[in-house]
Amino acid sequence: MSESKGEPSAYLRGPLINPDPITGEESVADLIDGAFLSYNAGRMREACQLFAGKILDPKVTVGLSLSGALTPAGLGMSALIPLVGAGFVDWIVSTGANLYHDAHFGIGLEMRRGRHDISDITLREEGVVRIYDIFFDYDVLLSTDAFFRKIICEDEFQRTMGTAEFHHLCGRYVREREQALNLGRKSLLAKCFEERVPIYTSSPGDSSIGMTIAERALAGSELRIDPSIDVNETAAIVLGAKRSGGKSAVVIIGGGSSKNFLLQTEPQIQEVLGIDESGHDYFLQITDARPDTGGLSGATPSEAVSWGKVDPEALPDTVVCYVDASIGLPILASYVLARREPRPPRRLYDRRSELLGELEREYRRGRSQ
């Protein structure tokens, strides 16, 4: 140990750990700022402050990815719909399962709190489906399948489209059902339809919605989902954010295919299309996965730099919070809604053709040189 009595190490110049006692009177945001000081609580504070600060700058376009069974637990209604309504989310990549279960609520079906330790054999005998400690009647699945089967037969679906257009059309029908049943705001699909927030699915066949599309194809439906449309539209959204003088942020809830689809927009721009770009500017992830097992989708922020997914100069503005998403997402939503005023919606769904045209022009210009 050095005996020098000169200036203290630069590493000892951080804020003191000296929190005020918790009284029970604190708001969620004040609790986070004042008591979430270290370990994963510290990362949660950093994530909240990054989102409420730099990410919600008016010039930043925010992409959100969703995986896991979030909507069955009510997180669509409690957290995601308020974030979309405040203009804090500009485009989304979600698993099909999250959107399918979201639709239950929007068409008037019920899911109830249960227990994780009940015999699944008994539940099966009684027609009850379980998602850990969430219970619902088997007829909820059949009724939701019937809803999608019916709307997919409409004329406007009888063509090839990307998942953003498909979900937008579905969201209109879900919103009509919400209004007819006087349900209020229950469905993320419906809310994104209203706010013109495009929702993409990285694996359109990997859900009950995709299964119903496949069944309708056997019955003669002409609906076809083209993933190439999604790949190019999402890349166009990110490039448009950058070329307009703004920045691109990714907010990742969970991981998996949705996360990769959100992040691969930059390699699509740089590696595949050959357009000069440097990566996303802000990276925030809530996950309980670990990188050493391969379970973190191969993309911690620093590792994502090697793929071109994240701008290397942006690493100081990246946070990974290792916490269960069912805990982290409501905390994050409460904090940013308390700390920031709503932003005007970007309504990117309506700008897809414009942005794609800009992407195509830059791609062709580079190929002609």
DSSP state of 319: E
- 309 annotated active-site: yes
Q: Which residues contact 79 (CB under 8 A, 6 or more apart)?
A: 329, 330, 332, 333
Tokens matching residue 280 = 């996303």
Let me know how long the chain is: 369
Q: How far is CA 250 from CA 123, 173, 264, 288, 319, in A?
A: 39, 29, 11, 17, 11
Lookup result for tokens 């691109």: 248
Tokens matching residue 329 = 């997402």
199-200, strands of its sheet edge to edge: 199-200, 91-94, 60-66, 247-253, 282-287, 318-322
Lookup result for tokens 């496949």: 214
Can you say how many angstroms the Cα of residue 121 is from the centroid of all Cα atoms in its chain?
34
Lookup result for tokens 């919606």: 345
- Report phi then psi at 249, rounded to 5: -120, 145
Can you say how many angstroms the Cα of residue 268 is from the centroid of all Cα atoms in its chain?
19
Among residues 76, 208, 73, the alpha carbon closest in space to that of 133 is found at 73
- Report phi then psi at 232, rounded to 5: -75, -35
Cα separation, 151 vs 355, in Å, equals: 29
Query: Under a CB-based contact definition with an 8 Å cutoff, are residues 78 and 117 in contact?
Result: no
Cα separation of the two ends of the chain: 61
Grouping H, G, I as helix, E, B as strand and the rest as coil, residue 253 is: strand
Query: Under a CB-based contact definition with an 8 Å cutoff, are residues 198 and 164 in contact?
Result: yes
Q: Which of 186, 191, 247, 309 is catalytic?
A: 309
Cα separation, 55 vs 88, in Å, equals: 9
Active-site residues, by number, are 309
